[in-house]
Amino acid sequence: MHIKILVTGGTFDKEYDERTGQLFFKSTHLGEMLRRGRCNADVAVETLMMIDSLDMTDKERKIIADHCRQAEEKHIVITHGTDTMEITGKFLSEAGIPKTIVLTGAMIPYKFGSSDGFFNLGSALAFSQALPYGVYVAMNGQCFDAAHVRKNKEKGIFEPI
């Protein structure tokens, strides 16, 4: 089973500038994460954009949807910032793309070492192979229907609505 991974940025791929204390984007960490995780799944990684999800608009969501629609693969994982993941999830759900699409991200950047991104990526890859067509959000070992999920910022988790 071939899986397409679409990279959009978010905390998952942020770097930390020790001089300024700012978070920024350089390049995706997906290749390193897949190697370190000893991923044996047949995956193809494509970087669509490297932006904070707070900067994402429907223009970028349309790009994501178009790439999902055009992909040969029927199983797609999208790395995405958590602040607007539910908006993109709902957008993709409404697009009616007949594929299994799983969005995932991280609350802590991968480069911090204590990131949840590593675990979330593995979970998303597994869910993408096991679930029927639809759009999902996979975070912290749980999977949700993307049209009915929200980020609870107080608790730092995703939950069904």
Query: Any binding-site annotation on 57?
Result: no
Single out the catalytic residue among 11, 84, 88, 104. Answer: 11
- Residue 11 annotated in active site: yes
Token couple for 94: 């409404």
Calpha distance 43→31 (Å, rounded)? 10
Taking every pair of Cα atoms in the chain, the longest distance, rounded to a whole number of angstroms, is: 46
Check residue 132 and report its DSSP letter: P
Query: Any binding-site annotation on 83?
Result: yes
Query: Any binding-site annotation on 82?
Result: yes
Calpha distance 113→67 (Å, rounded)? 31
Binding site listing for substrate:
53, 82-83
Q: Return the active site residues.
A: 11
